[in-house]
Amino acid sequence: MPETAQMSVIGKGQPRIDGPAKVSGQAMYTSDFYFPGMLYAVPVEATIASGRVTKLDPSAAEKMPGVRAIFHRQNIGKIFRSVPGQGFEGIIDERRPPFEDDIIRYYGQYIALAVADTFESAKAAADAVRATYAQEKPNVETDLKADDEAETVPTTFGPAKRVQSERGDAEGAFSNAPVKLDQTYVTPVETHNPIELHATTAMWDGSKLTVYEASQAIFNLQGILEQVFGLPKEDVRVVSKFLGSGFGGKLWPWTHCMLAVAAARQLEKPVKLVISRKMMFQAVGHRPRTQQRVRLGATTEGKLVSLQHDYVFSKSILDDYQEDCGEATAFHYSVPNLRVKFSRAKRNFGSPTAMRGPGAVPGLYATESALNELADQLKLDPVQLRILNEPKTNEALSIPFSSRHLLECFELGGQKFGWSKRTSEIGSMKRDGLTLGWGMAGCTWVAARFPAEASVQLRDDGTARVACGTQDIGTGTYTILAQLTSQKSGVPLNKVEVVLGDTSLPPGPISGGSMVTGSVVPAVFQAADNAITSLLSIATATKGSPFEKRKSDELAFEGGRVFVKADGSTKGVPFPDLLRRANIRLVTGSGKAEATFGNPKPKFSTHSFGCHFVEVTWQPEIARLRVSRVVTVIDAGRIINPLAGRNQIEGAVVMGIGMALLEHTSYDPRNGAPINSNLADYMMAVNADVPPIDVHFLDFPDKEINELGARGIGEIGLAGIAAAITAAVHHATGVRVRELPVTIENLLMSSV
Ligand code: MOS
């Protein structure tokens, strides 16, 4: 690709093109849509977590003003079961259709649905529905003992071997190792709390269904709705134009969506259903609790000889969401003997689901913490220990890394942070009367592509349009699509129309796994190239065109101009002139790129890498701990939009401060209810908790992913940060916390 002026669109910080629509209130989020005659639905939540509904009495609710219907098992109509489809289709974490039986398996499970003319009437009616239960004692026990299960178990994504990875003799090497570490690390249930609540607006036009949904994966939802309502796929349209984020909670469909669709079908009116903040804690996923035993064996010099990672996570009664804490364990460090195994423990919770950096985030908290403890045990610098164990290849799969620059991350991060000034003794560092703690950790996250299609139009007024049925969950996908189109077409960013979030568009990737950017690059580039090819043939075929006598292969296109290759680009004709001369409104091209994700025999191990250096301040007199400084370095290939990219990493670090110090969902052992199910009691990091965050990107394009070498950056920033923070806490206070979040009660044990 020649380096032209247009190249500056890629790799330059671009403010979000959808920013003005958002700040001026014009951006339509799912709950903003209104349609004439629309009704409002509010689900009725079970107030037990285990047992059976013995009687449901809707009679008082039905008589309330404005109420159109109270739906329940007997009158909701048919909602079928769905099955996993081929490849990456038919995914849902709670497979049981709503109202399928009378059994209650978690608190907040929907048992009825009130529909009324206004939201207020619907809420009042939902509250007036009387349920009688045969209640059993729910199992919401925090301590996870592994369920007795087979060696291969079903998961949302198909059967999985519980021994995920194994090489050498991990047990033997551990027992013979001169230096040993055997610790268990615990992460609590965490609940996704994007500002935007889950919402559905469903509308039927005869047998055709349109659903506005706060969804990170509109095509998967379309496929699920096809199945559960028994429709031809082309009769189902899903729209998701703007999302107030999701963090994974909006990846896969949830039962409220089906209830809204079923109610709209019964009442022949559009139905809107927006769940409450309390409901966000019940039936729309969470990150499960994990208990992870890590055993490390090392030489006295610090070379790892054995790594065992055995973890248990909580799951729902019926479903098989898998929290893959071992995702990174098998390749992140060099170790000849290794075993990674998972177990599960059923609880009376709604199904867990993917939450930002699923698996790897809790997994790396455990393994990176173990490494930090081993470094202390060996009296080695934790960076040094990692350098000593840097792998040359992916030892789990015996394939090379496409691009791994973790050591450069450590070097740059250490420099920017001033790590060499660290004195290792606990409580030994002071500044302005505060005790300082310094800690660090490495991180990684998978990089791959989902299948993607796109179309690009070049129009006679000098504008372009790019369409791709992906979503923008707030991460900057609108802007990335515009940048890619601008780069190829020479059309300035403000003249590129971006259309996404609609299943009537070419199928785009799910907004998950930090894979959207990497996935759309080849599809958009191919679409633009095809539009340009079409333009060149018009240039030669049009009477009176300056290129009439030429063959299209003598022509080239760059910076929005068509020119004869031999003459150079300065002589070109702007493409709108050529289109207008030919009386053609637009040329269009489509592009399609296959997935690399899920390739059973990859040639390269493709991952992003990074590290965090963290400083905390500690005031023992008042037990006050603050995160005071973070330096994060990320190796994620080429960064297409450094402004949005840095913002992703900053957001992830903020979430990491919450993970380390604040976030946890507690369940009432009596009725199984999440008790801190509101934004006052479920603590998350807020502005006052956030120090200066210094983010750096390395620039090593990874051409295995796409021609720009761009990997993804949505999730990696949350990986490792909690381990860096707890290491800093230990360095400041001498308290080793192995169960998140770190609480004041933990720190009162400090002797420093
Ligand atoms: Mo992310 S948990 O893949 O939305």
Confidence (pLDDT) at 74: 97
Task: Report in angstroms the alpha-carbon separations of 677 from 277, 415, 625, 742, 744.
Answer: 7, 42, 25, 20, 21
Atom of ligand 1 nearest to the CA of 248: 4
Max intra-chain CA distance, the chain: 87
Could you tell me the distance, in angstroms and rounded to a whole number, from the CA of residue 511 to the centre of ligand 1?
7
Pocket of ligand 1 contains residue 355 by CB under 6 Å: yes
Q: Name the active-site residue from 94, 196, 663, 715.
A: 715
> 133 alpha carbon to ligand 1 midpoint, in Å?
36
Our answer on whether the CB atom of 285 is closer than 6 Å to any ligand 1 atom is: no
Nearest atom within ligand 1 for CA of residue 246 = 4
Alpha helices in 151-217 (DSSP H): 170-176
Q: Which atom of ligand 1 is nearest to the CA of 251?
A: 4
How many angstroms separate the CA atoms of 339 and 295, rounded?
10
CB 747 within 8 A of CB 733: yes
pLDDT at 1: 38
Ligand 1, residues 356, 475, 718: which to mutate, most atoms within 8 A of Cβ? Answer: 356
Query: Is the C-beta atom of 712 inside 6 A of ligand 1?
Result: no
Q: Tell me the CA distances in angstroms from 83 to 90, 217, 226, 510, one per residue in order.
A: 6, 17, 11, 19
Residue nearest to atom 4 of ligand 1 (CA): 248
Burial state string for 670-702 with b = 16 or more CB within 10 A and e = fewer than 16? ebbbbebbeeeebebbeeeeebebbbbbbebbb
- Give the Å distance between the CA of 202 and the centre of ligand 1: 25
pLDDT along the chain (752 residues), means of 10: 58 96 96 96 98 98 98 98 89 98 98 98 98 98 98 94 98 98 98 97 97 98 98 98 97 98 98 98 98 98 98 98 98 98 98 98 98 98 98 98 98 98 97 97 97 98 98 97 97 97 98 97 98 96 92 94 90 95 97 93 96 97 96 98 97 98 98 97 96 97 96 96 98 97 92 72
| Burial class (CB within 10 angstroms; exposed 0-12, middle 13-18, buried 19+) of 330 | buried
715 is catalytic: yes
Segment holding 635, helix H or strand E:
strand 624-635
What is the SS3 assignment for 532-554?
HHHHHHHHHHCCCCCCCCCCHHH
Q: What is the pTM of this model?
A: 0.97
Q: Say what the pLDDT of residue 7 is.
A: 53
Q: In the 8-state DSSP scheme, what is residue 517?
A: H
- Written as one letter, the residue type at 485 is T
Atom of ligand 1 nearest to the CA of 354: 2
Binding site membership of 251 for ligand 1 (Cβ less than 6 Å): yes
Q: What burial letters (b/e) apply to 398-434, b meaning 16+ CB within 10 Å?
A: ebebbbbbbbebbbbbbeebebeebeeebbebeeeeb
CA of 512 to the centre of ligand 1 (A): 4
Does the Cβ of 356 fall within 6 Å of ligand 1?
Answer: yes
Judge contact between 451 and 595, C-beta under 8 A.
yes
Beta carbon of 358 within 6 Å of any ligand 1 atom:
yes
Range 544-560 burial, b when 16+ CB lie within 10 A, else e: ebbbeebebeebbbbbb
- Cα 208 to middle of ligand 1, angstroms: 30
Query: Is the shortest distance between the CB of 260 and ligand 1 below 6 Å?
Result: no
Query: Ligand 1, from 218, 510, 715, 716: best to mutate by most atoms within 8 Å of Cβ?
Result: 715
Ligand 1 atom at shortest distance from the alpha carbon of 249? 4
